[in-house]
Structure 1
Amino acid sequence: MILPLTGSSYELGKMKEAIDLIEDTQLAEIARAEACYFTADAKGCVEHVKKYLASDDVMLRLSADMLYVFANLTLGNAGKAQAARIDVKQCLQKALEEDASTGIKSSCIFAYYLINIFLHIETEKEMPALEGCISDLPTGQRLFAISILAHGMYLKKEYLKAQGVVQTAMLMADAVYPIPFIYLNCIAAMCQINQKEQEEAISSVKKAISFAGKDGLFEPFIEYHGLLQGVLEVCLRKSEPEIYKKLVDGIIAFSRGWMKIHNSQMNRDVTDLLTPLEFSIAMLACRDWTNQEIAQHMGLSVNTVKHYVSDILEKLQIDKREKIKDFVNQ
């Protein structure tokens, strides 16, 4: 089984107890690594998984690779993250060449798409489709895979389709799976924002926060901050300033690591010159939102938004807001 904690159903606030119920000691350690990662303890995550990076057990290896990629983005170790990303691809190629079991092939495909879609890196056309393996995964991992599938649709600007996939997954879930539910609700919010459905987006983010809060699972919001385009600021900046401050620190670290891999792979120049708040405004401005719409969306005055947009243009050394799109991850 890959990512055992991610695939677990448990009562909110009972994450540690859920880990204690995992009898296999190696899977339990992977689950503890997941707990570290999702609670923004990247160093702890790396310490737990590094012994499994060369494991002969492909499930342990894939889990370790996935966690190692994203934890090292936060830690600024792009080279180590890239090495683990390549290892996942090699595991998938080997599984296909050797015609491995359905479970192994499906897990390899899952890991491959998870990393590439989160990093906004194009997947090779010859790779099997993610859709083809989802039904072979356990329920919790299947829900998480569906969130990845929906994220891919979002990147193609298929917002209604992605929302439909998310809603169907949530309705079909037979229990509460906190980690997949956080991601599914974030994807829903991302789509709603791009359809200018502000209230719906805020509602989706609040649902995601409700699944995260009791166990402190705030890493997904760090990953998705830019794509949530200001909704985190609306939901947390004033009401939960300590949580928001912790998120900001994580956002800056994760974003810089993300950019080191994404920019080199995709020949893009996603910027690390902006604060998280400026980046959120930039994301909206480059999507043709007016200053009035941005102000209303983020609970700011129009003059404040104008000031931020001017600062953004100056930092990026550009003269028109239309050019902002070249510097953000859409």
Structure 2
Amino acid sequence: MKENLTPGKQIERLCREQGISQKMLAERIGVSPSQISRIIREETKSVSSEMLMGLAEVFQVSTDEILGMKPNQKDRKEKETYLPMMLMNTAFEPGKCREFMDSTEDPDIRNMVYAEYAYFSGQHEKAVKLAGKYLTNPNPLMALSACLIYSFANLTLNHISQARQGLDMIAGSLKSYEKNRSGDRKQEALLVFMSAASRVLLHLPAEEMPQLSDYIGELPEGMRLWGCYVMAHEAYLNQQYEKSLGIVQACLALTGKIYPIAEIYLRLVAAMDAMSLRDQELARTYFMEAWELARPDDLIEGIGEHHGLLQGLIETCMKEAYPEDYRRIIEITYRFSYGWRRIHNPDTNEEVADNLTTTEFTIAMLASRGWTNGEIAEYMKMTERTVKQHLTATFNKLNINNRKQLVDYMLR
């Protein structure tokens, strides 16, 4: 009987064949030598996703080879279902995200789930490293997810050329997926969903496609939530705030399980709607619900991305109560906003907005939406004089003279 190829035996064999000592291997992947020894001696049967990726990189082999998978095992693995952005589209109890990730058996799916988590928790370098290995994966949905994570993470890292590369690959993946789809309505729904998300959230040009609302019922529940977020966000961008809020409320009312990441984004867009409708109490309620979903698993990325559209909610709800989390979220805001402007406005002089502090940006957004200095002061818990000082600084930085010009700048 042929001996099973365990990870320990495979690592021992590869070390021997490539002349790498256990100590050297441990240094290269950033673990202790005792961890490598325990795996080789088979005192532990599990290899973490991060360690698995590190081993594959050092030995220049596939993760399948590290795990000792036989061909028939690999064939079964490749037939397992993978949904784009699987972590976002999975239900789990807040605080137990890592348990779900570690329970994922397929090593490639597990690596992609870890890449996704790294992005949504603001660990952009790790997200790029993990997702970068799957940009050309034979599974088109896995490749698309990798490109999405890779693009957004590089954008926040201000790696603009890599972010553009990822966006180009997304566009190519969508065309390839459209060309090779079988005609099944559920597959058609996936294509409509991905196309709508790319058009609304990434501003990528898209071919004429059916309305996402016509296919939303064909999507799995978690992806359906994200599809509702896309539709609500598009309505928000079109200044249809009541419609956007209605989409979110109906979606959340019909949801049977908790999908933390998708629900964070849904509640954030609802908070944006409520602020635009001048309902501060409702806006704070939705924002704090989003924060309570994000906090247990440190899923802070989405909050930072939506800073400007949240119109001061981060400051009024978090600055005093959660100062350290607030600091980290604002850091994401600065980095994401700067990268976003660079990649979507390469031929304009938008970089002047990078001089605005988050407080100045928030006050400018509120002023551009018709708030008086007194209303802004009461909401932001500062004096009217301070509001005037921030607006004066903003006008100087943007090289404008009045609120009408501010409206043209902020809402274009």
Paired residues of 1:59 and 1:107 also in contact (CA < 8 A): no
| Distance (whole Å) between structure 1 residues aligned to residue 366 and residue 210 of structure 2 | 34
Mean Cα displacement is larger for which, 45-54 or 286-295?
286-295
Paired residues of 2:195 and 2:206 also in contact (CA < 8 A): no
The structure-2 alpha-carbon separation of the partners of 1:16 and 1:62, relative to structure 1 and needing over 3 Å to count, comes to: same
| Distance (whole Å) between structure 2 residues aligned to residue 79 and residue 128 of structure 1 | 32
Q: 1:195 — aligned with what? A: 277
Deviations 1:56-92 (A, max 9, x none): 2101011101111211111102222222222222222
Paired residues of 2:199 and 2:206 also in contact (CA < 8 A): no
Deviations 1:165-200 (A, max 9, x none): 000110111111111110111010000111111111
Q: 1:110 — aligned with what? A: 193
Mean Cα displacement is larger for which, 82-91 or 108-117?
108-117
1:263-278 superposed matches below 5 A:
263-264=345-346, 269=350, 271-278=353-360
Paired residues of 1:269 and 1:326 also in contact (CA < 8 A): no
Task: Compare CA radii of gyration and give the structure with the larger one.
Answer: 2
Paired residues of 2:222 and 2:262 also in contact (CA < 8 A): yes
1:280-291 superposed matches below 5 A:
280-291=362-373
* Paired residue secondary structure (2:208): coil
Give 1:104 shift. Answer: 4.5
| Distance (whole Å) between structure 2 residues aligned to residue 316 and residue 102 of structure 1 | 49
* Paired residue secondary structure (2:369): coil
| Distance (whole Å) between structure 1 residues aligned to residue 144 and residue 197 of structure 2 | 11
2:153 counterpart of 1:78 = no
| Distance (whole Å) between structure 2 residues aligned to residue 260 and residue 108 of structure 1 | 28
RMSD of the TM alignment (CA)? 1.9
- 1:269 alignment partner AA: E
2:270 counterpart of 1:185 = no
Mean Cα displacement is larger for which, 81-90 or 285-294?
81-90
Following TM superposition, the consecutive aligned residue runs of length 4 or more in structure 1 with deviations greater than 6 angstroms are none
1:6 to 81, 88, 93: 88
* TM superposition score normalised by structure 2: 0.75
The structure-2 alpha-carbon separation of the partners of 1:41 and 1:2, relative to structure 1 and needing over 3 Å to count, comes to: same
Q: 2:108 — aligned with what? A: 26
- 1:118 alignment partner AA: L
Mean Cα displacement is larger for which, 123-132 or 178-187?
123-132
| Distance (whole Å) between structure 2 residues aligned to residue 85 and residue 255 of structure 1 | 17
Higher relative contact order (CA 8 A, sep 6+): 1
1:1-330 superposed matches below 5 A:
1-100=83-182, 101-119=184-202, 121=203, 123-124=205-206, 126-264=208-346, 269=350, 271-328=353-410
Give 1:329 shift. Answer: 5.8
| Distance (whole Å) between structure 1 residues aligned to residue 138 and residue 207 of structure 2 | 28
* TM superposition score normalised by structure 1: 0.93
Paired residues of 2:225 and 2:262 also in contact (CA < 8 A): yes
| Distance (whole Å) between structure 1 residues aligned to residue 102 and residue 85 of structure 2 | 15
Which sections of structure 1, spanning at least 5 residues, go unmatched?
none
The structure-2 alpha-carbon separation of the partners of 1:168 and 1:235, relative to structure 1 and needing over 3 Å to count, comes to: same
Mean Cα displacement is larger for which, 168-177 or 17-26?
17-26
| Distance (whole Å) between structure 2 residues aligned to residue 247 and residue 226 of structure 1 | 12
| Distance (whole Å) between structure 1 residues aligned to residue 165 and residue 365 of structure 2 | 30
Which sections of structure 2, spanning at least 5 residues, go unmatched?
1-82
The structure-2 alpha-carbon separation of the partners of 1:110 and 1:80, relative to structure 1 and needing over 3 Å to count, comes to: farther
| Distance (whole Å) between structure 2 residues aligned to residue 149 and residue 261 of structure 1 | 23
